[in-house]
Amino acid sequence: MKTVCAGNFEKSDRSDCRIAMTVKKSGGIRISLNSKVAILYGAAIRETCEKILEFYGIDNAELQIDDSGAADYVIAARLEACIKQLIKTDKSWLPEILPQNMSGTERDRLRRSRLYLPGNSPKLAINAGLHSGDGIILDLEDSVAPDRKDEARILVRNTLRAVDFYGAERMVRINQGERGFEDLNALLPQYVNVILLPKCESAEQVRTVDAHIQKLRRECHIKIETWIMPIIESALGVMRALEIAGSSPNVVALAIGLEDYTADIAVPRTSEATESFFARSMVLNAAKACGLQAIDSVFSDVSDTEALYRNVRASRALGYDGMGCIHPRQIKVIHEAFAPDEAELEKAEKIVAAYREAEEKGLGVVAVGSKMIDAPVVKRALRVVELAKMMNKQGSRREKKA
Amino acid sequence: MKTVKNAVGRWVPAEINGEKVIPFKGIGKHRPRGRKYAPHIVTSADYPPSGDKRVPSLKEALIRSGIKDGMVISTHHHLRDGDLVANQVFDIAAELGVKDLVWFPSASFPCHKEIIRHLESGVVHHIEGSMNGPLGKFTSEGKMKGTAVLRSHGGRYQALQDGEVKIDIAVLAAPTADPFGNGHGLEGPSACGGLGYALGDFQFAEKVIVITDNLVPFPCIPMQIIGNYVDYVVEMDKIGIPELIVSGTTQITRSPDRLLIAELTAKFCDAAGLVRDGFSFQMGAGGTSLSIGLFFHEMLKERGIKARFAVGGSTQYSAKMLEDGCLEYMLDAQTFDLEAVRSMRENRAKHPDISIFHCYDYHAKGNFTTMMDVMILGATEVDVNFNGNVVTHSDGYMLHGIGGWQNCLFAKCTILPVPLFRNRIPIIVDEVTTLVGPGELIDVIVTERGIAVNPRRQDLIDKVKHSGLPLKSIEELKEEAERICGKPQKPELGEKIVAAIKWVDGTVIDVVREVRNG
């Protein structure tokens, strides 16, 4: 008899479980459970497993469950991943979806921070939304080992339904190629807000994915928007940034991935980042030319928050609107760095006040004191004031929800 | 066993280990009469005029102290998990064929799992003290001959003072001592800071043995242990393992979730107006509470104000606060890391060692806890009536001691920053497994998913209701925990009572029953 496995049970894997499953010819369902929470949840774990096996019509099987406090939706995902290695089925056992996980997002919402979560590690997902990031990315691409892609997809699907992210935008980074379409088939019906396309190098790539997304949206009656964020991570992608940015009306932002980009141009990534100055400028200009947000690469030294702050300020100075994070503690720093500082805000408010006054009086010219203010300066000031307002609003809204 | 329902609705026995006990009557309701306990009168004529009380070995000291079956033996816990002395006491007792001893430590640590052997062989009958890790598991499974008794640090002093526990022999390690028996913990290879928990032991024991690995000529200053109470002094090569004496817990948390809880706690204290010039606080050495301390420190520095005093649990963080002038006095009964030990040595006027009698004894003419503005504590469970548990987990296993927890509940604002769940196990529950502290003394629960203020504290609710903080009812928090984790089953517990939990006044507030479905 073939035995299959899914899930993780190493020392560092809290909130997860590993299930080993063998289908038998007779003997009914036998479950052997090794769990720290057996006294409190042993019966619940068995019940969940029995329900799922029944759902798939499996009457005889042996399960060995090694559990480190996995939530019900995790256990369900692990068991489903086992079952799908053993039998061919189109059925999926879906945990109940939280009503708040069906909400849509606006095109121009704040996307300062987006927190990457490895798709196959449940422990980081449960509390990820508490840290007030603008977005949460469940990653199926680089952070998931090739032989774990299928079980990760099932886990991410259940996570999108069962975990409350407290208002963060729900994003998924799908795989490249054919596997990416399988990811979309499973995840688009779960009301994902943004699909991240890794290693994007052409408009065609975006259009193919977008067409598939639109097909799935129609089939699944998804009414909320499904945005696309291509990630540009190669020299070719950089050179084609403009066509990628303009490839579909559903693209909301262009992101740049510098680890892969610097590898592609065969130079080390430095903290001065001169090697990527051209690429970042290209992506930024392409995004702005098409009215999109521009999102910078992650900063990988988690412990150095001061360097992160400087990095974000430099990124903001170039025109970027957001940055990826790999640790929750980076979120606050990124938000602070993207906020207009007080002097900047004060000046912008003065200009906006003068502009409104001029408007009221029907004057063609805006002046602060004796200084004449040009139209683009007014435009920038309006943007600064608006951003500050959004950030305050966003901040206090989260605080109440957390 | 006959049980009665006490004032918090828990069924407790009228007798434990053959002694009558009083069921908990309510906070401040039990008023014992009579006089305090005292050991026998002694005379200096029986002690060497040279002041040299040294004997060659611990074995010799125990024999001279008249060790015999059924005695109560107390030990220190200030060497924490690096203690090399307590286990030896019972190894010697076993060698001498002594049986049915009662071990009365001020706390136990995982290193004391060796005592399990002596519990199994009958050398030790039962433990009265804290039971951590392996000892707690052993006890929970009903394997101890007698019934364990758990007390708070203050309750331990109260029990000695009131004569509930009579120590026959106290064995106290002193990182530095003189031949007369004076001792302190500030210097020596096993330096641990203050010895504030040992006061009751040497005051009330019939015989007192001081063990040191750093003997100095008389006088040993300061006299944290007072030699006039001491019978014998034993020199040993090594009383402790330094890296295990200094607790590994004195690092601020790196967990982003705990940091969030710490930040919310600090913001709550600020919104409630508690962080003001001249305020006072206490917190433990856990990562979350240390982070709260850092937030306080930043607020004080920013506003140019000072805290008047803190009671500790001192750490490198409190030392820093003291030394940069944000904290005027650190009253220290327990020194958690080497930086704190150094601070106690160098800042003696501002960082004195104090005893448990000072800060916690409930049968005294007042104690320090009621004067404290902010008290930060932990819990394994809190229920919807704000009752708290620190000794058992939801699966019924007793894995921790009470420490100073019960004593500290009397502060002006008691805050429990806890995660809503730990590894699927909800912390906020319908009813605590073991009721260690009554809800009327627990004011605020801070979790990563919201803050619940005890409805009894309308004053606090009024102060924070417009703060923008995520305020929720305790029931809402409980429901959220159950939504995420599922509703846990109750553990199946046996009838056998394996431990009694004493309240700060010596009455029995709850019991722990045997775990059956482990």
Do residues B205 and B79 share a domain?
Answer: yes
Which of B380, B386, B453, B462 shows the shortest CA–CA distance to B422?
A: B380
- Residue B187 within any structural domain of the chain: yes
What pLDDT does B247 receive? Answer: 63
% residues pLDDT > 90 (chain A): 80
pLDDT of residue A300: 87
Give the domain CATH number at B450: 3.40.1080.10
CB pairs under 8 A between A and B: 69
Assess A136–B contact: CB distance below 8 Å, yes or no: no
> Which residue, among A37, A45, A67, A75, would best test binding to B if mutated, counting the most B CBs under 10 Å from its CB?
A37
- The count of other CB atoms within 10 Å of the CB of residue A234 is 18
For residues B96 and B357, is the Cβ–Cβ distance under 8 A?
no
- B499 falls within a domain: no
* Phi, psi at B201, each rounded to 5°: -60, -50
Residue % of chain A over a pLDDT of 70 = 98
- Reduce the DSSP state of residue B506 to 3 states and report it: coil
What is chain B's mean pLDDT, rounded?
95
* Total tally of structural domains belonging to chain B: 2
Say yes or no for a CB contact (<8 Å) between A130 and B448.
yes
B269 plus B240 within the same structural domain: no
Q: Do B314 and B421 belong together in one domain?
A: yes
Answer yes or no: is B506 within a domain.
no
- Confidence band (pLDDT; 50, 70, 90) for A394? very low
**Beta-ladder partners of A293:** A253
Phi and psi torsions of B141, nearest 5°: -85, 10
Examine the domain organization and report whether B349 and B478 are in the same domain: yes
pTM for this model (two decimals): 0.92
Q: Which chain A residues contact residue B446 at CB under 8 A?
A: none
Nearest CA in chain A to B257: A127
Judge whether A340 is closer than 8 Å to chain B, CB to CB: no
pLDDT of residue A401: 36
Residue B290 belongs to some domain of the structure: yes
**pLDDT for the residue numbered A362:** 83
Spatial CB neighbours of A118, under 8 Å, sequence gap ≥ 6: A124, A139, A143, A144
Side chain identity at residue B79, one-letter code: L
Q: Which residue, of B211, B245, B279, is where some domain finishes? A: B245
Cα(B280)–Cα(B296) distance, integer angstroms:
11
Of A36, A37, A400, the CB nearest to B470: A400
Contact B209, B62 (CB under 8 A): yes
Interface contact A34, partner B, CB < 8 A: no
Q: Taking CB atoms and an 8 Å cutoff, what residues of chain B touch A43?
A: 489
Among the partner-chain residues B425, B484, B518, the one whose CB lies closest to the CB of A40 is B425
**Cβ-defined contact of B486 to A126 (cutoff 8 Å):** no
With CB atoms and an 8 Å threshold, state whether B448 touches A14.
no
Average pLDDT over residues B446-457: 98
Question: Does A39 contact B518 at a Cβ distance shorter than 8 Å?
Answer: yes
Query: Which residue segment(s) compose the domain that B203 sits in?
Result: 53-128+165-245
Q: Is the same domain home to B172 and B279?
A: no
Do B333 and B218 share a structural domain? Answer: no
Q: Please list, in sequence order, all residues whose beta carbon lies within 8 angstroms of the beta carbon of residue A19, skipping any fewer than 6 positions away.
A: A5, A6, A7, A63, A64, A65, A66, A75, A78, A79, A81, A82
Residue to mutate among A16, A37, A40, A49, with most B CBs inside 10 A, is: A40
Least confident range from A330-334, B246-250, B422-426, B508-512: namely B246-250
Q: Read off the pLDDT band of B250 (50, 70, 90).
A: low
Same domain flag for B296 and B216: no
Task: Please state, rounded to an integer, the average pLDDT across all residues of chain A.
Answer: 93
Task: Write down all domains in chain A, each with its CATH number in brackets.
Answer: 3-86 (3.30.230), 99-338 (3.20.20.60), 342-401 (no CATH)
Mean pLDDT of B441-467: 97
Domain-located, residue B233: yes
Question: Of A239-243, A336-340, B158-162, which range is least confident?
Answer: A336-340
Mean pLDDT for the stretch of residues A113-140: 96
pLDDT digit string, tens, across residues B301-334: 999 999 999 997 899 999 999 999 999 999 998 8
Note whether B278 contacts A: Cβ–Cβ < 8 A: no
Q: What is the pLDDT of residue B517?
A: 64
The 10s digit of each residue's pLDDT in A196-218 is 999 999 999 999 999 999 999 99
The whole-number pLDDT of residue A402 equals: 33
The domain boundary, picked from B245, B280, B305, lies at B245
Could you count the other beta carbons within 10 Å of the beta carbon of residue A364? 5
Residue B508 located in a structural domain: no
Domain co-membership, B233 together with B99: yes
C-alpha gyration radius of chain B:
23
Cα separation of the two ends of chain A: 48
Distance from C-alpha of A381 to C-alpha of A351, rounded to nearest angstrom: 7
pLDDT at position B337:
86
Residues B357 and B307 in one domain: yes
Which among B257, B395, B423 is the nearest to A130, CB-wise? B257
Q: Which of B471, B475, B420 is nearest to B447 (CA)?
A: B420
Q: Same domain, yes or no, for B317 and B241?
A: no
Say whether the peptide bond before residue B39 is cis (omega within 30 degrees of 0): no
Same domain, residue pair B227 and B261? no
Q: What is the mean pLDDT of residues B30-37?
A: 95
Residues above pLDDT 70, as percent of chain B: 99
The 10s digit of each residue's pLDDT in A158-184 is 999 999 999 999 999 999 999 999 999
Residue B251 has pLDDT above 90, yes or no: no
Q: Evaluate if residue A359 carries a pLDDT over 90.
A: no
Question: pLDDT tier at A400 (50, 70, 90 boundaries)?
Answer: very low
Q: Is B140:B515 a contact under the CB 8 Å cutoff?
A: yes
Q: Which two tokens stand for residue B183?
A: 């001792």
The yes-or-no verdict on residue B246 having pLDDT over 80 is: no
B140 falls within a domain: no
| Interface residue A40 vs chain B (CB under 8 A) | yes
Mean pLDDT value of segment B43-47: 97
Contact B491 A39 (CB under 8 A): yes
Please indicate, yes or no, if residue B228 is contained in any of the structural domains: yes
Is the pLDDT assigned to residue A267 strictly greater than 90? yes
Listed range (A305-314, B39-48, B63-72) with the worst mean pLDDT? A305-314
Q: Are residues B306 and B177 in the same domain?
A: no
- Per-residue pLDDT at A365: 81
Task: Supply angle C-alpha B93, B95, B101, rounded to 5.
Answer: 25
A331 closest CA partner among A109, A111, A115: A115
The answer to whether residues B402 and B436 touch, using CB atoms and an 8 Å cutoff, is yes
Instruction: Name the strand (E) or helix (H) holding A383.
Output: helix A375-401
Which B residues, 98 through 127, put their C-beta within 8 Å of a C-beta on chain A?
none
